Amino acid sequence: MKTALITGVTGQDGSYLAELLLKKGYKVAGLKRRTSTENDTNIKRIKNEIEWFSGDLSDLASLTEAVKTSKPDEVYNLAAQSFVADSWEQPVFTGQVTGLGVLNMLEAIRQTKPDAKFYQASSSEMFGKVVETPQTENTPFYPRSPYGVAKLYGHWITINYRESFDLFACSGILFNHESPRRGIQFVTRKVTDGVARIKLGMQKELRMGNLDAKRDWGFAGDYVKAMWLMLQQDQPDDYVIATGQTHTVEKLLEVAFSCAGLNWKNHVVQDKTFMRPAEVDLLLGSAQKAKKKLGWTPEVSFEQLIEMMVEADLRKYSGTS
């Protein structure tokens, strides 16, 4: 039986990945931050099947202990301060966790279990002000937020540890991926949650930022399969994971509101509070390498994804889930 250690297991991706690995017969160890109030919404169905370790990406000793005790065959480093907008409010913390935290995890592995395979959750935000479209593994980076800069450090230190110490370390450059478990601040979930509340008469308007930004949005459940596939290859490598389709935030509004029989124009108010100091205008990824080498392709379309999320939020507020 293989063992996987997942950091960020309480988050969107961590919960889908843990479910996938348990189904494959893995023993799953999870690193969890101590919190005063339990945060187990995403993992409540499987929390008794996980071996828990208390720790924090900024605390090397806790990571070393988790690696030493769980003796993982595979480590998936999904933990991060993951919200771009907050990275301007907490730039130092974002650098310490999302950037240097990756180094802590790599050091824990190098010192304690150097044969463990390592996956780093890198991000299309590293492309930022894109220099070519579509973006591939060879596109130069130009991050536009403290988050993007921190992720770039995580990406390069992963490659550096692979080249310096021969670790089996992969960096997955994942484009935006969403689900009913997406954090409420992110634009897709903010919109689907808002649509449900408006439909059920709990709210009248939805305040939004830049409607022109374009994102390549996929389904998180599809994307965690790519993470696993990367660690099953003979050689460690870096891969772009994306759908190859991009949509504006305005299109997202149109699709989400129409799922509930509403017209977004009657409910959306633009609010500069949600504008960012620097924007990423367009993301569109090419996952050709992942298709060829991993045999990975996304299964859920943009429209199916948004409908799934609107329905889940409607069920949540109408008390049927």
Rounded-to-integer distance, Cα 270 and Cα 250, Å: 11
Residue with tokens 């029989």: 261
CA distances from 6 to 54, 67, 286 (A): 12, 10, 27
Q: Which does 78 bind (CB under 5 to 8 A by kind): ligand NDP, ligand GDP, none?
A: ligand NDP
DSSP state of 320: -
- Which residue is catalytic, options 123, 145, 171, 179? 123
Helix ranges, 34-145 (H)? 60-70, 86-89, 91-94, 101-112
Per-residue x/- track, 254-283, ligand GDP (CB under 6 A): --------------------x-x--xx---
Q: Which does 57 bind (CB under 5 to 8 A by kind): ligand GDP, ligand NDP, none?
A: ligand NDP
* Residues 224-243 close enough to bind ligand NDP by CB under 6 A: none
- Nearer to ligand GDP by Cβ, of 125 and 307: the residue is 125
Q: Which does 187 bind (CB under 5 to 8 A by kind): ligand GDP, ligand NDP, none?
A: ligand GDP
- Select from 46, 73, 197, 209 the one that contacts ligand GDP (CB under 6 A): 209
54 binds ligand NDP (CB under 6 A): no
Rounded-to-integer distance, Cα 249 and Cα 132, Å: 21
Tell me if residue 38 is catalytic: no
DSSP string, 216-233: --EEHHHHHHHHHHHTTS
DSSP state of 176: P
Q: Please, are residues 15 and 181 in contact by the beta-carbon 8 Å criterion?
A: yes
Judged by CB under 6 A, the stretch of 3-11, 199-207, 231-239, 278-286 that binds ligand NDP is: 3-11
User: What is the chain's alpha carbon radius of gyration, rounded to the nearest angstrom?
Assistant: 19
287 binds ligand NDP (CB under 6 A): no
Cα dihedral 174→123→137→134 (10° resolution): 80
Left if phi > 0, otherwise alpha if psi is -120 to 50, otherwise beta: which for 71?
Answer: left
Please, what is the minimum distance in Å from the beta carbon of residue 56 to ligand NDP? Answer: 4
Q: Which does 8 bind (CB under 5 to 8 A by kind): ligand GDP, ligand NDP, none?
A: ligand NDP
Judged by the rule CB under 6 A, the positions of this chain that interact with ligand NDP are 7-8, 10-14, 33, 35, 39, 56-58, 78-82, 97, 121, 123, 174, 176-177, 183
Judged by the rule CB under 6 A, the positions of this chain that interact with ligand GDP are 84-85, 125, 176, 185-187, 190, 208-210, 213, 215, 249, 274, 276, 279-280
Q: Which residues are catalytic?
A: 123, 125, 147
